[in-house]
Amino acid sequence: MKTIESLINASKKVYVRMSSDEICRRFFAQAEREGFLFGGEKPTKKEPSDIIAVLPDKTICYVGTIGRIAAGSGAENVVMLEGEEVLGSF
């Protein structure tokens, strides 16, 4: 089974786009089951967002303006995934 942890890539920035708050909540729940933290807290304690970053240290976070520009840049070192695709593997 594919995991959120398997998305981690030290040489690339990984972003997950959420099509709805429900998809984001499901993503947070799965991340929590895998041991991810969000600002030192359980991800399910956070509010949903439309883009979430997955970091190499097993944390996730909101994406600000610069991160959104990077996420949409199509650069070689950026991976943008759809939340449904990620959750579809669970």
pLDDT tens-digit readout, 2-54: 789 999 988 999 999 999 999 999 999 999 999 999 999 999 999 999 999 99
**Containing domain of residue 23, as a range?**
5-87
How many domains does the chain contain in total?
1
Rg (CA), the chain: 12
Per DSSP, 47 falls in state: P
Farthest-apart Cα atoms in the chain, separation: 33
pLDDT tens-digit readout, 58-80: 999 999 999 999 998 989 999 99
